[in-house]
Amino acid sequence: MTNDLITITGCGSISPLGFQRDAIFAKYLSNENCLVEKYFNGKKYAVGCISKNAEEQLSNLIIDNPKYKRLDRTILMAIHAAGLAFSESNRRGYAGKITGVNLGSSRGSTALFEQLHEEFLNDNSKRTSPYASPLTTLGFVSNQVAAHLNIAGPVIDTSVTCSTGIQAICNAIAWIKAGMADRFLAGGTEAPLTNFTLAQVEALGIYSDLLAIEYPCTPLSSVNEGLNTFVLGEGAAVFAIEKMKMQELKEKQPLCIIESVGFSFEKPVSLTGIAEDGSLLAASMKMAMENMITDNDIDLVLLHCPGTAKGDRAEMNAVKDVFRNVVPNLFSNKWKIGHTYAASAALSLELALLCLQNNFSPDFPYKAIVNNHPKNIRKVMINATGFGGNATSIIVSNPGLIE
């Protein structure tokens, strides 16, 4: 086993679950979802809005930094989450020289872009704000996080649809292993709750119509099997990634070890790039499992499953292909917070950390097609797949497996 380990030494998030780790974990212990009903384009939808106290954190950011009033909430959420991860990593005794930033978003500054574009279309002179270009370019996300935290290392933005959060982490790992940085802040952020974005999902015909019941979004439900129950949410999650020697584990006590990553791409078979046999995700899962640094079995797979009939079925086919007759516990948190696009896998990684730290076995609050059992959670796989035919898997484990 190599003496150099890739670890997570800090984590920060903001989502419908809140932003404080204890409160987030308490929400996961509850059978209540965090979805609310809001109107978009004259129609009521279930959506995952960040919590009230989390919204106050964004307001405080603007109060402390008045220029941030121009920024889209995609960037504000990234700044908040990255600040939490950065501070926690520093408290664990980070001693490196170069810190990089690699954050991702599927759609970038969504609300601001739509606002500025609408103003342009309605302006007879066809002029727009001089801030329109810098404020809505994708690279502005990581730039602003680096500027806020006074980081001078490499600054990178990533957009690989719904795989973005994990792919940003994969890229950060590559930079660290190459010796080009000592630490990276990596993850995903998304604020897609806008009229145009909801119209896009509506056009796909996958949005949930189950407003009058307890759970509008039901991935892997045995009752709603075959129905599309997709719900959109917003949020951000960022992680401090750092290389560490085995002998440093006890002193620094990282949140987890990143054992391996896997990824795959296939020519899209449809507009969404989802093959029904799940071969895309199966390939990324197999690659991650082939590169694990411990021999322990995977105890839990946090699925991408967003509650779409076709996508959920494809991922279950992938799970059956990879694990055969010995299937780990399976779970998707999208019934609770919705699908947050680029931030979704990053928020699943946050859940993985909570599971490892608290020996927590999450399960669905409704009748599902999976058979989960309480068990020791020591190793977790997180899956993500996105439009265009890409998939990513990451495996994290309790540092105790290494020690």
- CATH classification at residue 348: 3.40.47.10
Rounded average pLDDT over 301-310: 96
| 82 neighbors 71 (Cβ within 8 angstroms) | no
Where residue 133 falls among pLDDT bands split at 50, 70, 90? confident
The H helix count followed by the E strand count for the chain is 13, 13
For the residues of 275-286, what is the DSSP string, one character each? -TT-HHHHHHHH
In a domain, residue 403? The reply is no
pTM score, whole prediction:
0.96
Q: List, for residues 99-115, the tens digit of each pLDDT value.
A: 999 999 998 899 999 99
Q: What is the pLDDT of residue 128?
A: 87
In a domain, residue 311? The reply is yes
How many folded domains does the chain comprise?
Answer: 1
Q: Provide the mean pLDDT of the chain.
A: 93
Domain of 285 in residue numbering reads as 4-398
In a domain, residue 239? The reply is yes
Rounded average pLDDT over 268-295: 85
Q: What is the pLDDT of residue 290?
A: 97
Q: What is the pLDDT of residue 271?
A: 63
Q: What is the pLDDT of residue 384?
A: 95
What are the phi and psi torsion angles at 219 (to 5°)?
A: -60, 135
Rounded average pLDDT over 60-64: 97
Q: What is the pLDDT of residue 341?
A: 96
| 204 neighbors 153 (Cβ within 8 angstroms) | no
Q: List, for residues 328-367, the tens digit of each pLDDT value.
A: 999 999 999 999 999 999 999 999 999 999 999 999 999 9
Q: At what angle do helices 21-29 and 344-358 cross, to 10 degrees?
A: 90
In a domain, residue 183? The reply is yes
Other Cβ atoms closer than 10 A to 209: 11
In a domain, residue 81? The reply is yes
Beta pairing partners, 381: 301, 395
In sequence order, the 6+-apart residues with CB closer than 8 A to the CB of 116 are 128, 129, 132, 135, 136
Q: Give the separation between CA 24 and CA 337, rounded to whole angstroms.
A: 11
C-alpha closest to that of 346 among 140, 147, 170? 170
Q: What is the pLDDT of residue 134?
A: 85
Residue with token string 């989802």: 274
Rounded average pLDDT over 147-161: 92
Q: Give the separation between CA 302 and CA 281, rounded to whole angstroms.
A: 13
Where residue 66 falls among pLDDT bands split at 50, 70, 90? very high
